[in-house]
Structure 1
Amino acid sequence: MGSPDPAKGLQRWLYEALRLAIVSGRLPGGSTLPGTRTLARQYSLARGTVAAAYEQLLAEGYLVTRVGSGTRVSAVLPDQLHPAKAADASSVAIETAHTRESRAPWISRLKECDSPFPLADANALPQPFYPHRGDIRLFPVDLWRQLHVRQLRTSRLLTLNDTSPAGLLALRAAIAEHLAIARGVRASPEQIVVVGSVHQALDLCMRLLTGPGDTVWMEDPGYIGARQIMHASGVRVADIPVDHDGMRVLDGIREAPSAALIYVTPTRHAPLGVPLSAERRASLLNWAAASGAIIFEDDYDSEYCFRSRSLPALRSLPGAEAHVVLAGTFNKLMFPSLRLAYVVLPPQLVNPFVRAASVTVRSANGLTQAVLADFLSEGHFDRHVRRTRKIYASRAQAFERAAHAHWQGLIDVQPADAGLDVIGHLLPFDERTAIEKLKSARIDAAPLSRYTHRHTQKPALVLGFAPFNEEEIERAAQQLATALRKG
């Protein structure tokens, strides 16, 4: 690498020398770099200087590190650069956006995604019949404020310090107790990691468990956010069809028998609302045990079953602990800006996941975690869920009555037995025509085709009822019918 150049700055010199050696092939993919202490001694550098250069190369994707195998050159370079060539200032052109994107495939892949989330502030209440949302007006704000104030007492100011990347222990213990009662899941607090969202948990699992060329199963139709994370990861996505019994597991085994990861919403499919049948649950677990694949269970809408008890989590079944990652969120149950969720991990994934979380997101907000821990352990969360479940059940019935009264011959609505939204099959319209008509009446809904990729469904809308009281539902149902019947 030559001798250090103090004029350039020792850290910058070392970073550029290592990067040039990597992109020129002098340090081939997979080769092991010396430890920071060894390299520092060799070039008479401070160990911190070497560590900082390594960290920058790790962040940019030129190096990878794994427990027990040291620091290695990445097998796939982030920009596929050729050896650098000297150039004077007159020959340097301004880099275009297209050039930058071609060197950043993750950005390029994301350009093709239609984000399921607002890309700007979304402070307004949702319009009928916006799906996948609860009613934030039902949240006990005054109680939450009191719990916040209690955590900010002088005697509790340690909650303002950094939190473990695994999450506050008191919160993880409260989550473990809640899961044992509500979902039949037995897990120690040490197997639980607090994250910002289910998407964050899936993203970290994709980074840890998959690599270029790997295959993952995705429900089709299925949750858009999960598909986009897979797409951005660069893996091959096997689209597994869904019917009235949930994901067609045997189709997945036939199409992608060596998949590394399976994403599934077994309690209530997103967005069709059907549960994964007992036979298919057993088949999926048996196959995962035999193949070594990991099942990512998104516990979607499991808290809101109105006419029967919720099915136990897939993670609760015998033999599932070693093969199932269970993820759930508080953001939908309480309020979206809370940004707290959890993941229950197989024992072998706990340490790698916590280390990855510490590098990428550090930790979720410690003060909010402490408040949520009290909210759970003191029974406020259970009372809030029971109260909202009762209210949403009433609104589901009001939605069914309104649909029956006003949408005959327009939309055939499935029974609203669970969750925050339902499927409404369009009778005389295609989805594009229906959406255009509804926009003119300020009615919001999602076309079912937005959730499909390869396996098409009959024209339908995903319609939310939970954020709207009975008067709002009745009024909006009449507006929807009027809009659809206009020539």
Structure 2
Amino acid sequence: MPNTSAPPQVLFLPLGTPEPGVSLQRWLYESLRAAILGGRLPADSKLPSTRQLAEHYQIARGTVQAAYQQLLSEGYLHARTGSGTRVSAVLPDVTLNAGYVRRKVRPPEELPRTAPATPWVERLDLLDPVFARRSSAPGLRPFFPHRGDVQAFPIDTWRKLHTQQLRASRLSLLLDADPCGLPALREAIAGYLSIARGVQVPAERILVLASVQQGLDLCLRLLAPGDSQVWMEDPGYPGARQLLDVAGVRRIDVPVDAQGLQVDEGMRLAPHARLAYVTPSRQAPLGGELSPSRRLALLQWAQREGSYIFEDDYDSEYRFIAKPIPALRSMAAAEQSVILAGTFSKLLFPAIRLAYLVLPAHLVECFTRAAALTARHANSLSQAVLADFIHEGHFDRHVRRMRKLYAQRAEAFAEAAQRHWQGMIEVPEIRAGLDIACNLQMDDEAKAFAQIQAAGIEAMPLARYCVHPRSPGLVMGFAPYDERAIDEAARALGAALRA
């Protein structure tokens, strides 16, 4: 696609100071000529008027006019009435001009340097970049996981609420805000958690952040210093695992089965770990729930060791079978040891970048100070709009509508799998969520995944979530795709695997 952006208008161009004995006219001419040939002034960029440049550098206007005239006569500039003075698209033969070669100046990130070999940089180099830099742009194909349907979001309602917040009487929202989050949004979140997640908590213990990742980062900085041991689910969410690795903690990979995290195995591997990362309401990526007995065992372990549990409650609202499962934080024994993290990115849209932590009372002050120091506060305008969106009932209606829509698409996905993937991919019962971990009934997961990609189908190999090998599998999403797209992609995938 051609670049249709307009050339810039040069309002200020640092030219350095004149050398002793060099006239101002000569200095200005050579400085502008060097900027043109060096690429600092691109073709067709508009220069300031002679009056503006003379005032800026506090030199005579006639001096500027003389320098401009020389550059015009030599072909470096061109001037047209109503268009001003601009850099020529075609320059004179630069081989005759002191060895200058016109070039495109590379941005700083392209300069031939390497990042310093600090521990963070070295650890980042070891990470799988798939999750860290995966695009979420429109056009992702079935069956890419971990995404909702932004096309179904009530954007007109959101726009109306956004416009209301930008009234002249509310422009204080454009100033710095409370690092804890806007009081109206914290109150709305507290009310929502009480009804939907069974968590009774005052708004003062809620910290609004940009993402769950930011919340986990704060936990690692504040609660797991040095080479502390931290439990991590295996398989588990790669974004969390990578954050643990970069933080430099000793990651303890605790196996997961149909009942969730194997707490007994965690206590055997690292009984004195400082933190445990868990997804108890819907395990990521396998989809199971942490059993009641293991929930109790996990809480007892944390109380006994003085450790903390980071509960990532990432998409528990979308349950299609049976009643919603209360959050681990709702249990009476959880108040002092469980940090509940939730996000609106999957409930509404990813670009909202709003999430929250529910903190024990004794951690509120230090977490607030750390959040203020590292990120100041989350976007206050978006917070205000979201608070209204919740208080006026739009949030509840949207979640109920999307739950019904995703249930229909989950059913369509299961039916398409039954038609097209017999003997190749087994799809378990879809009880909740935006995606499902499927069993790949082929020995070579990497080869099957390559065939799927070649057919234009998106999915994620289960191996990307695992540290220790498991049976071959695929994590596949269904939520953003309508029934027709699901069936067409399922047919193409089946044909690719059979081939």
User: TM-score w.r.t. structure 1 length?
Assistant: 0.78
Post-superposition CA distance 1:369-415 (Å, at most 9, x none) = 00000001111101000000000000000001000111001111111
1:431 counterpart = 2:445: yes
- Is 1:330 equivalent to 2:337 in the alignment? no
Deviations 1:268-304 (A, max 9, x none): 0000000000000000001101110000000022001
Amino acid at match of 2:188: A
Structure 2 runs not aligned, ≥5 long: 1-110
Partner of 2:435: 421
Once residues 175 and 229 of structure 2 are traced to their aligned partners in structure 1, the CA distance between those partners, rounded to angstroms, is 40
Distance in structure 1 (CA, Å) of the matches to 2:153 and 2:204: 29
2:290 to 269, 273, 276: 276
Within 5 A, what are the aligned runs for 1:57-456?
A: 100-102=115-117, 104-117=118-131, 119=133, 122-453=136-467, 455-456=468-469
Aligned mates of 2:361, 2:349 — CA distance in 1? 31
Contact kept, 8 Å, 2:406 with 2:434, in 1: the verdict is yes
> Do the aligned partners of residues 456 and 118 (structure 1) sit closer, same or farther apart at CA in structure 2, a change above 3 Å counting?
closer
Residue aligning to 1:68: none
- Distance (whole Å) between structure 1 residues aligned to residue 224 and residue 132 of structure 2: 28
Match of 1:87 in 2: none
2:268 & 2:346 partners in 1: Cα distance?
35
Does the 8 Å CA contact 2:309/2:337 hold for their aligned counterparts?
yes
Does the 8 Å CA contact 2:442/2:472 hold for their aligned counterparts? no
CA distance 1:298–1:463, change in 2 (3 Å): same
Measure how far apart 1:466 and its partner are.
Answer: 0.4
Structure 1 runs (4+) greater than 6 angstroms displaced: none
Mapped contact 2:426–2:439 kept (Cα < 8 A): yes
Deviation at 1:423, TM superposition (A): 1.4
Contact 2:131 2:238 in 1 (8 A): no
2: CA distance between counterparts of 1:469 and 1:427? 26
User: Would the alpha carbon gap of residues 148 and 96 (structure 1) be closer, same or farther in structure 2, given more than 3 Å must change?
Assistant: closer
Unaligned residue ranges in structure 1 (runs of 5+): 1-94
| Structure 1 position 123, deviation (Å) | 2.6
Q: Distance in 2 between matches of 1:337 and 1:183?
A: 24
Paired with 1:134 and 1:141, the residues of 2 have a C-alpha distance of 14
Quote how far apart the aligned CAs of 1:457 are: 1.2
- For the pair 1:467 / 2:493, whether they are aligned, the reply is no
Are the counterparts in 2 of residues 269 and 300 from structure 1 also a CA contact under 8 Å? no
Moved more, 256-265 or 157-166: 157-166
The CA deviation at 1:159 is: 1.4
Distance change >3 Å, CA 281–CA 234, structure 1 → 2: same
TM-superposition CA deviations, 1:208-267 (whole Å, max 9, x none): 001112100000000000001100010100000000100000000111011000000000
Secondary structure in 1 matching 2:449? helix
Code of the residue aligned with 1:123 in structure 2: it is A
Q: Please tell me the residue identity of whatever aligns with 1:152.
A: L
CA contact (8 A) 1:326 1:344 kept: yes
Give the Cα–Cα distance (whole angstroms) in 2 for the partners of residues 125 and 305 of structure 1. 26
Q: Give the whole-Å Cα distance in 1 for the aligned partners of 2:113 and 2:279.
A: 38
Contact residue 134 and residue 466 of structure 1 kept, 8 A:
yes
| 2: CA distance, partners of 1:416 / 1:353 | 37
- State the shift of 1:125 in Å: 2.6
Cross-structure match for 2:52? none
**In 1, Cα distance between equivalents of 2:497 and 2:411:** 22
Q: Is the 8 A contact 1:173 1:189 kept in 2?
A: yes
Q: May I ask how many residue pairs the two structures share in their alignment?
A: 389
- Aligned CA-pair RMSD: 1.4
Residue 457 of structure 1 corresponds to which residue in structure 2? 470
Instruction: Give the match's secondary structure for 1:381.
Output: helix
TM-score, normalization by structure 2: 0.76
Identity %: 54
